[in-house]
Structure 1
C-alpha cells in the first residue's frame, strides 16, 4: 500500500474517532439535561444543585462545565423549546392574515387558535411550570413580566394596524387595558398548567376563552357586522 493509501486510512480512522467522540459527548449532554430537568422540577432553579446534577448524571462536577458554562445555561437550554414557541406566537400575532375583521366571525380562525394554544399547553406543561413558578434566581426569573410588556406592545401595534386598515373601528383602547389583558392571559396559562385538565377539558376552556375574548374585543373596537 502506498503512502497516500496509508494516510487515507489514518485520516479515516481519525475522523471515525472524532465522530464517535462527538456522539459520546452529545449523549452525555443529553443525560445532563434530563437529570437537570428532574432536579429543577423537584427543587426549582434557585435550590437546584449542580453537584446533584453531576452526581446523578454520573459526570464529574468539574467535567460538567465542559458541556455548560453554568446552571443558568442548563436551565435556559431545557426551556429553549418553550421560549422559541412563545416567540413564534408573538411574531405571528400581527401577521397580515390576522389584520382582518373576519377574525371576529371566522370559525376557521377560531379553530386554528384553539389548536395552537391547546398544543402549546399540551407540549410544554412542565416547562411552563418551571418558567412561571420555579425560575426565581435565573435569568428567566422576570420572564412573566417581560412577556406581559412585550405582549402589551404587540397588542398596541395590532390595534394601530387594524385602525389603519379599517378607519371606522375604535383604536382608542387604553394602554392599561391592553396591559391588564396581557397579564390576565399569563395568569390563565398558569392556571391551565397547574390543574390536571384532560385534553377535552383544555380544548373546551380555550374555546370558551376565545369566544368570550373575541366578543369583548369586537364590542370594544366597535367592529360592525
Structure 2
C-alpha cells in the first residue's frame, strides 16, 4: 500500500512540475509517464486522463492550504482575530500556490471553471470550518449571527472573490493589505449601516 501511494504521489508531483513549466494544455500523458519513469501503463492505472491528474495536483495543493487554516483555527486568539487571520491566510496561500506553479497561473485565470470543479470539496470544508468559528464567536460574545451556515457561505464567497485581484496585485490600486484588513474587519463587525441613535447606550 505504501509503495502504491509513493508511486501515485510521485506521478502527481511530476505532473505538477510539468504543468508549472509548460502549462496544462501543452503537457501530455506521455510527457508525465516519461518524466516519472513509470511508463504509460502504470500512469493509466492511477489516472484515466490528464484532467484527472490535474484534479489530483490541485487537490494536493489545496490540502496544504487546509492544513494552514486548521493551524490558525487552533491558535489561542479571539474568534474575531481567528476569522481575520484565516481569511488573510487563505488569500496568501492561494497566491503562493498559483505563483509557485508557473504556467498554472495562466490556467488559473483562463479556466476558472475547471478550478472551481476541482475545489468543490475544499470549499465545502472551508464553509463548515467558518461556521464552526462563527458558532464559537457567538458563544464567547464576539459575534451576533443568527444564521451561521448562511453567514459562513457568504464569507467564503467573499474571500474567494478576492483571490484573483489579490493574486494579480490589482488590489494595490485600491489599498494596502492592512487597509483591506481594516475594511473587512469593520464590515464584519459593524456592517454598512450607521447605528441608530441610542443603539449602544
TM range (shorter): 0.5 to 0.7
Q: TM-score, normalised by structure 2?
A: 0.59
In structure 2, C-alpha distance between the alignment counterparts of 1:28 and 1:142, rounded to whole Å = 21
Alignment partners' CA distance in 1, 2:36 and 2:73: 47
Whether contact under 8 Å (1:156, 1:178) holds in the other structure is yes
TM (norm. structure 1) is 0.54
Correspondence 1:51-200 to 2 at 5 A:
51-54=30-33, 57=35, 63-66=39-42, 69-70=46-47, 71=50, 74-76=53-55, 78-79=57-58, 82-95=61-74, 97-100=76-79, 103=81, 116=89, 119-126=92-99, 127=101, 129=105, 130=107, 134=111, 142-166=117-141, 169-173=143-147, 175-193=149-167, 195=168, 197=169
Runs of 4+ in 1 over 6 A off after TM superposition: 26-30, 112-115
Aligned mates of 2:126, 2:161 — CA distance in 1: 13
Pairwise CA distance, 1:191: 3.0
CA distance in 1, matches of 2:131, 2:11: 45
Out of 174, 181, 185, the residue aligned to residue 214 of structure 1 is 185
- The answer to whether the 8 A contact 1:163-1:170 is kept is yes
Task: State the number of aligned residues.
Answer: 177
Distance 2:13 2:118 in 1: 25
The gaps in structure 2 that reach 5 residues or longer are: 1-8
Contact kept? 2:127, 2:152, Cα under 8 Å = yes
CA-to-partner distance for each residue in 1:124-176, whole Å, 9 max, x for gaps?
12457456754867xx752444333333222221121112122x741325633
Aligned in 2, Cα 1:52/1:161: closer, same or farther, shift over 3 Å? same
